[in-house]
Amino acid sequence: MTVNLRGNSQLNFDTGCVEMIHGSGGKAMAQLIEGLFLKAFDNPYLRQQNDQAAFSLPPGRVVMATDSHVISPLFFPGGDIGSLSVHGTINDVAMAGARPTHLSAGFILEEGFPLRELKRIVESMAAAAKEAGVPIVTGDTKVVERGKGDGVFINTTGIGVVPEGVELGGDRVRVGDHIILSGPIGDHGVAIMSLRENLTFETAIESDSQPLHDLVADMVKVVPGLHCLRDPTRGGLATTLNEIAQQAGVGMQIQEANLPVRPQVAAACEFLGLDPLYVANEGKLVAFCPADCSEALLAAMRAHPRGGEACRIGEVVADPHRFVQMQTRFGGNRIVDWLNGEQLPRIC
């Protein structure tokens, strides 16, 4: 398909590539914006074609989060860098208990990158934003010389509003809190690693990349006194638990028998020498709530399609050393330490 806008230069989405002039600020860049980004992300804010977006927000505290996405490969089972960049930032905003309202998107493109692949990524991103109900209202595009990038990098920034009466944070976690996980861990990281290593399994392993803000809205509605939410992305569940233990000055005790890991993910981890506790997730959350609220919270999560496999995995304990410990299936106790080194580079 060829798109011709405002002149003789054309965007050929069948055989064309990103060129340096697409980041020059001239006619070619305007054609790329109009023929691809504006068309895919179309909304009233973008149609104004200003350098910024102006909008009003509902009452409440405003939350802002930003995330850069450099995942390799760009396309993977269950998603791609486009949908991931929308889901990741929406989830970062939602972990404050906020309702995401607007997104921005910044693209760094490498000269020579096929336009058909860029179109596929942008359309996936647009579909993810539309499904989530969070528009991309402003953005930026830069082009770097061939060999000085890796196809596409995307930065997304999100804004949201926290409802009155909701206040979440790692420093609010208390001894006695129950620790609840929204579903099986390790899917995203293993999906990426399996693709890199050309591994195939009887049952396909797909990334769990998905937006969690609707699930969070249901959770805070039922338990407004929720203490903390966090999405265990890079470094996995183990790193997230250690971060919060340090932040709150507590210890944590989890049970291996309660940790949900899909059989094919467990098998892949064993083959690849990975521990599912440290493998990245892109569509799961861990919640900390007062013990007397955990059943109500679990019921609300299990009633939502993105939390149907929610389960309690442990509780917060007093520990001046701030250790995270796990009771193994054999009855022993193991320290779940911080991730050392880089287990899975460029996972998001």
User: Residue 313 in contact with residue 255, Cβ under 8 Å?
Assistant: yes
| Rounded CA separation 41/123 (Å) | 8
Residue 87 CA, chain-centre distance (Å), reads 5
Say which amino acid occupies 7. G
Query: Which token pair is 217?
Result: 């809205």
What pLDDT sits at residue 3? 52
pTM: 0.94
What pLDDT sits at residue 2? 53
Q: Give the residue extent of every domain in the chain.
A: 15-160, 168-333
18-47: pLDDT as tens digits:
999 999 888 999 999 999 999 999 999 999
> Is domain 15-160 given the CATH code 3.40.50.150 in the classification?
no
| Rounded CA separation 169/329 (Å) | 31
Say which amino acid occupies 107. F
What pLDDT sits at residue 199? 78
Instruction: For residue 129, give the nearest of 155, 101, 96, 160 by alpha carbon.
Output: 101
Question: Nearest 5 degrees, angle CA 20-CA 22-CA 23?
Answer: 75
* Segments in the chain below pLDDT 50: 5-8
What pLDDT sits at residue 201? 73
What pLDDT sits at residue 342? 72
Query: Which token pair is 259?
Result: 């940790």
Buried b / exposed e over 54-83, threshold 16 CB at 10 Å, is eeeeeebeebebebebbbeebebbbbbbbb
Radius of gyration of the chain (CA): 21
User: Residue 276 in contact with residue 313, Cβ under 8 Å?
Assistant: no
CATH of domain 168-333: 3.90.650.10
